[in-house]
Amino acid sequence: MKKVLATLGIGILGVFGVSAGTAAADYPPAAPQITASAAVVATRGPVTYTVSGFCAGTTVTFSISPNGTVIGTAVANAGGNASITIKAPKNAGTYTVTATGSSPCVAAASLSIRVRSLPATGSNFTEQGLQTGLFALLGGGALVGLAALHRRRLIAA
């Protein structure tokens, strides 16, 4: 009888111990977080935003400030994570990206990113390349014309 009570007591403690541990791990829920693939991105460059801490199945809406334009939505997976990849804004500056979850869990997280312009490199081909090509073509044509004129004079003489 003592063995049965001892086994029953250990079993009850084990059940309550596991339940209490699981409940403690889930409460309080972690605050949602958002991360970006880079803190500084080039204008119109790709950037991925990833959120965590949302309830599974929650539709997460991503928006960018200063004007709060919606840039996309994603559904949180079983782990509470969702992500989108977009092009950064075309204007350089600092922007705030906010991820807002709707039903079944309402939550939000924000992140600031900096968008910068790339320095100009190389040259403007449409102007310089066109000018160089035109001068080369005219110069080559002039040389061919002079060579033909010289050859005629040699033949005539």
Does one domain contain both 36 and 97? yes
Three-state secondary structure along the chain? CHHHHHHHHHHHHHHHHHHHHHHHHHCCCCCCEEEECCCEEECCCEEEEEEECCCCCCEEEEEEECCCEEEEEEECCCCCCEEEEEECCCCCEEEEEEEEECCCCCEEEEEEEEEECCCCCCCCHHHHHHHHHHHHHHHHHHHHHHHHHHHHHHHHC
Average pLDDT for residues 122-148, to the nearest whole number?
Answer: 74
Question: What digits encode the pLDDT tens for the residues 89-130?
Answer: 888 899 999 999 887 677 788 888 888 887 656 555 566 666
Q: Among the listed ranges 28-42, 64-78, 88-102, 120-134, which one has the minimum average pLDDT value?
A: 120-134
Show the domain range for 141: 125-152
Q: Is residue 84 part of a domain?
A: yes
- Which of 6-10, 78-82, 110-114, 146-150 is predicted most confidently? 78-82
Asked if the structure places residue 76 within a domain, the reply is: yes
Of 19-28, 90-99, 131-140, which has the strongest mean pLDDT? 90-99
pLDDT of 80 strictly over 60: yes
pLDDT reading at 22 higher than 50: no
Residues 112 and 36 in one domain: yes
In a domain, 14, yes or no: no
pTM over 0.85: no
Q: In the chain, what percentage of residues exceed pLDDT 70?
A: 72
